Amino acid sequence: MKRIGVLTSGGDAPGMNAAIRAVVRTGISKGMTVLGVRRGYNGLILDRTETPEIEADIVELSVRSVSDIIQRGGTLLYSARCQEFRYESGLQKAKATCERHGIEGLVVIGGDGSFRGAADLSARGIACVGIPGTIDNDIAMTDYTIGYDTAMNTAMELVDKLRDTAQSHDRCTVVEVMGRNAGYIALNTGVSCGATAILTRETGTSAEDVITRIKNTQTTGKHHFIVVMCEGVGNAAEVAKEIEKHTGVESRASVLGHVQRGGSPTVRDRVAASRLGHRAVELLSNGIGNRVVGFDRNELVDFDIQDALRMTKEFDFSLYNVGMDISF
Ligand code: F6P
C-alpha cells in the first residue's frame, strides 16, 4: 500500500494527536504518502479539496506537519459524528473520494460507531484499520482506549478541588462525570477520590443506597462526602436534594462535562497512542484491513472489526467493592 488516509471521528480524546503523529511518521518511514482527512467521515463525503475558498478536507501530511502535537489535546484533523455515513449513499461517496485521491487504506481513530463505519467501508474495498480513541474506555476488544487516562486524571483533579470546598462547609458534593453508557470513568474517579458512593449503570446503585452509605458513614464522625455518578444514571441535582433531605447534610451538585475531554494527554495516553498508530500502519503496509487494534493487558492485539464489535466488556466489580469497602 502506497497511499493511506487518517481521520479522527466521534468525540475527541486527548492523545488523538499523538496517534495521528504515529500514523503519519510510520507511514512516511515505510515509503507511504499519508493524507489527513478532516472532520471525520464528513471529510470523505464532502471532499472540498478542490474548493480554494474553503479549507480542504483532505491534505497531505508531512513529517513536519505533525511536529509539536504529541502533547496537545483535541485533534488537529478535527472530529465529527457523520450521520450520512450510516447510509449506502454516504459510503459510496466516501469510497469514490478515496479512489479519487488514491487512498488504498484508512486509519480511523474513534469509538465503536466509527468502527462500524470502518467495517462498512472495508467491505466496499477500502482497507480500514480502527484505533480506539475515546475517553469512555467503552470498547470491548481493548482494555484501554486513547484519552481514558487523561480524562480520569482531569476528573480526579477536579473532584479533589470539590472536596476542599465540601470539607470546608461540611457538605456533600455529587459529581457527574462522563462515560456515555459506561461507568469506567466514574468507577476510577470515585475510587481515586475516596467517594462514599459511586453510581453507574453497571452497579445499579440507587439514591437510597447512597443515603444509607452516607448515614452509616456519619456515625463514624465524617461530615463531608463525595458522591460520583456516571452521566445518564440520573440527575445530580436531584440526587443532591434527596441526600440533603434524608441525611441533613447540605448538598451541591457539579457536572464536570466537556472539560474531561480536553488537556494535554498523560504519559499513558501518549504512549498508547504511539503504539496503536504504529501498529495500525504496520497492518496496512502488509495489505491487512478491516481490523481494529487495541491492548490485552498492555500487549498489542488486533481483531476483525465485526468480531470486535460483537465483544462485550466486563465491569470491574472487584475494584468497585474495594472502593466501597474502604470509603466510609
Ligand atoms: O464519547 C465521549 C463523550 O464525551 C461521552 O462521554 C459523552 O456522553 C459524549 O461524548 C458527549 O458527546 P458530545 O460531545 O456530542 O456532547
pLDDT digits (tens, 9 = 90+) for 14-24: 999 999 999 99
Kindly state whether residue 171 falls inside one of the protein's structural domains.
Answer: yes
Rounded Cα gap, residues 26 and 143, in angstroms: 24
Looking at residues 110-116, what average pLDDT do you find?
A: 96
Kindly state whether residue 320 falls inside one of the protein's structural domains.
Answer: no
CA nearest ligand 1 atom 14, residue:
11
Ligand 1 nearest atom to the CA of residue 135, by list position: 2
Percent of the chain at pLDDT above 90? 97
Cα-to-centroid distance, 195 and ligand 1 (Å): 23
Same domain, 50 and 116: yes
CA separation, residue 202 to residues 28, 184, 187, 228 (Å): 43, 9, 10, 14
CA nearest ligand 1 atom 12, residue:
11
**Chain segment 40-51, per-residue pLDDT in tens:** 999 999 988 888
pLDDT at 63 (0 to 100): 98
Nearest to 246 by CA among 210, 288, 273: 210
Q: What is the CATH number of the domain that holds 250?
A: 3.40.50.460
Same domain, 44 and 94: yes
pLDDT at 121 (0 to 100): 97
Same domain, 181 and 72: no
Rounded Cα gap, residues 163 and 171, in angstroms: 9
**Chain segment 178-201, per-residue pLDDT in tens:** 999 999 999 999 999 999 999 999
Kindly state whether residue 323 falls inside one of the protein's structural domains.
Answer: no
Ligand 1 nearest atom to the CA of residue 179, by list position: 6
CA nearest ligand 1 atom 13, residue:
11
Round the average pLDDT of the chain to a whole number and report it.
97
Same domain, 96 and 55: yes
Looking at residues 63-77, what average pLDDT do you find?
A: 98
Kindly state whether residue 324 falls inside one of the protein's structural domains.
Answer: no
Cα-to-centroid distance, 231 and ligand 1 (Å): 10
Nearest to 62 by CA among 35, 43, 82, 91: 35
Same domain, 162 and 117: no
Cα-to-centroid distance, 216 and ligand 1 (Å): 35
Looking at residues 124-150, what average pLDDT do you find?
A: 98
Cα-to-centroid distance, 29 and ligand 1 (Å): 34
**Chain segment 213-261, per-residue pLDDT in tens:** 999 999 999 999 999 999 999 999 999 999 999 999 999 999 999 999 9
- Which residues form the catalytic set? 136
Kindly state whether residue 165 falls inside one of the protein's structural domains.
Answer: yes
Residue written as cell 501498529?
A: 279
**The dihedral sign for the CA sequence 119, 125, 126, 129:** positive
- 234 contacts 207 by C-beta, under 8 angstroms: yes
User: What is the 8-class DSSP label of residue 246?
Assistant: H
Same domain, 139 and 245: no
Same domain, 179 and 65: no
- 129 contacts 110 by C-beta, under 8 angstroms: no
Rounded Cα gap, residues 16 and 40, in angstroms: 12
Looking at residues 67-73, what average pLDDT do you find?
A: 98
Looking at residues 109-117, what average pLDDT do you find?
A: 97
Q: What is the CATH number of the domain that holds 280?
A: 3.40.50.450
Range of the domain at 53: 3-147+265-310
Ligand 1 proximal residues by C-beta, below 6 Å: 11, 111, 134-136, 178-180, 231, 261
Numbers of helices and strands, H then E, in the chain:
11, 11
Contacts of 29 (CB under 8 A, 6+ apart): none
